[in-house]
Structure 1
Amino acid sequence: MTKRILHVVTNVAHYADPSEPTGLWLSELTHAYQVFAGKGWEQRIVSPKGGVSPLEPRSLKWPNIDATAKAWLADDTRMALLSQTARPDQIDPAAFDAIYFTGGHAVMWDFPDDAGLQRITRDIYERGGIVASVCHGYCGLLNTQLSDGTLLVAGRRITGFAWTEEVLAGVAKKVPYNAEQAMKQRGAHYEKALLPFTPKVVVDGRLVTGQNPQSAKVTAENVAALL
């Protein structure tokens, strides 16, 4: 049986100020997509509203862009996947073995309180599937409750984009909240790498999280190993 992976991407195109663009950090999707494609697994992309997932401009420039992202940009079929994403109500969680939340600052707005994504995440996890995120993708796990009413992240080891990295990236004053702090407030045991912008992955049972864009490939590899 082939495995099936559901990638989650954003629909948000800018920070609170419409003149400041953001969106999906492309390599966080492309690295994982490549890992899973190499296994021959089926993959689908969902977003809170469906349709277009805008790209974070900074992710398309040196030194952030890499071979996997360049190849995606040059492939019309792959780019079409980001203009025709599914809506949560079009997704049957029972059809997927893992859900993988991508990042980019945009997800801080549309991931945390999306009931459809929370339903899918809960169903996949409670059926024995894997829940994964990379970078800001962990914002999609902030408010997800299990069937017993407890938060998915409470008491769990987890990582994601660090507040130190927000400051170093020059966007600490633009983001709507401190995601690292928000995770800790929900009872998660947050961990981070000794050095900013270096790969860090935390595996806690069937919860797999990566800290930053540099962690995307190894996060996906850990998901693949569990599957």
Structure 2
Amino acid sequence: MKKILVVLTNYAQYGKRKEATGLWLGEATEFVREVNKAGFDVDYVSPNGGYVPIDPRSIKYASTEDLEMYNSEDFRTFALARSMKANEIKSANYCAIYFTGGHGVMWDFPHNEILHKISLDIFNNEGYLTSVCHGISALLYMKDWNDEWMIKGKHITGFTNSEEILSGKRNRVPFLNENIAKEHGAIFEKKRAYSEYAIQDGQFITGQNPFSPKAVAKILVKNLKKK
């Protein structure tokens, strides 16, 4: 059985600001628990490989289950300390790619050509492109073989403008995901701020915010089990 590729950030701060960020823990742990429960294995990758920083705020809001996984030897080793490098990945081994969030991804996901190529290969092999929260930033700038935005005409969701304002980080991020999604022709869907929401449009499955990774996983599993 093919695996699911979980993409994590290497970025530990808001650009050049001396302010910590990184992976939002629950956006990895909640998704992985759900797909593991359904019998699917995952690999962890980051743009540069190796160390993955955790947004310290996400520890504060982590559930007991999140913290158990965070403290497990497997997660500490293969996700946070020794994540695979993007250029080591063989896309044929994966049925889906999942882009986690946390503000760190806003710097190392959007224009990473290697991650884009992996994603396009998985997509062209009838696999799924999935994301949650700020992870949508990885999808915003992807182009297909015809040099068209892949999200054009697609119903997608991600961290909204209002959620960015409520998070207090509006002036920390290099762009707003909702704005770029619309500029690139996507049909951006959203629900009330910080409420669970995930949608599917063909091979795209996206979640709005940190409360949505489990919902993304459930939709993905449902699709994978049909095959």
TM norm structure 1: 0.96
Identify the match of residue 197 of structure 2 among 192, 196, 200. Answer: 200
C-alpha displacement at 1:45, in angstroms? 0.7
Q: Let me know the Cα RMSD of the aligned residues.
A: 1.0
Cα distance in 2 for residues equivalent to 1:9 and 1:74: 17
Cα distance in 1 for residues equivalent to 2:65 and 2:181: 30
Residue by residue over 1:67-104, the C-alpha shift from the partner in whole angstroms, topping out at 9 and shown as x without a partner, is: 23211222122111121011111101011000000000
Cα distance in 1 for residues equivalent to 2:207 and 2:71: 26
C-alpha displacement at 1:143, in angstroms? 1.1
Cα distance in 1 for residues equivalent to 2:198 and 2:38: 20
Q: Which residue of 1 aligns with 2:26?
A: 27
Q: What is the DSSP-based 3-state SS (H/G/I as helix, E as strand, rest coil) of the residue aligned with 1:44?
A: strand
Q: What pairs up with 1:1-227 in 2 under 5 angstroms?
A: 2-61=1-60, 64-81=61-78, 82-193=80-191, 195-227=192-224
List structure 1 segments (4+ residues) > 4 angstroms apart after TM superposition. Answer: none
C-alpha displacement at 1:148, in angstroms? 2.0
Cα distance in 2 for residues equivalent to 1:126 and 1:184: 24
C-alpha displacement at 1:217, in angstroms? 0.4
Residue by residue over 1:146-173, the C-alpha shift from the partner in whole angstroms, topping out at 9 and shown as x without a partner, is: 1222111011000000010011111111
Q: Percent identity?
A: 38
Q: Which moved more, 1:66-75 or 1:96-105?
A: 66-75
Q: Which moved more, 1:29-38 or 1:66-75?
A: 66-75
Residue by residue over 1:176-203, the C-alpha shift from the partner in whole angstroms, topping out at 9 and shown as x without a partner, is: 111110111000100100x210011110
C-alpha displacement at 1:223, in angstroms? 0.6
C-alpha displacement at 1:40, in angstroms? 2.1
C-alpha displacement at 1:16, in angstroms? 2.3
Cα distance in 2 for residues equivalent to 1:127 and 1:115: 18
Q: What is the DSSP-based 3-state SS (H/G/I as helix, E as strand, rest coil) of the residue aligned with 2:97?
A: strand
Residue by residue over 1:4-23, the C-alpha shift from the partner in whole angstroms, topping out at 9 and shown as x without a partner, is: 10000100000024420000
Task: Indicate if the aligned counterparts of 1:50 and 1:84 stay in contact, CA closer than 8 A.
Answer: yes
Task: Indicate if the aligned counterparts of 2:155 and 2:186 stay in contact, CA closer than 8 A.
Answer: yes
C-alpha displacement at 1:142, in angstroms? 1.1
Gaps of 5+ in 1: none
Q: What is the DSSP-based 3-state SS (H/G/I as helix, E as strand, rest coil) of the residue aligned with 1:97?
A: strand
Cα distance in 1 for residues equivalent to 2:76 and 2:17: 24
Matching residue's letter, 1:29: A
Task: Indicate if the aligned counterparts of 1:161 and 1:211 stay in contact, CA closer than 8 A.
Answer: yes
TM norm structure 2: 0.96
Q: What is the DSSP-based 3-state SS (H/G/I as helix, E as strand, rest coil) of the residue aligned with 2:217?
A: helix
C-alpha displacement at 1:36, in angstroms? 1.2
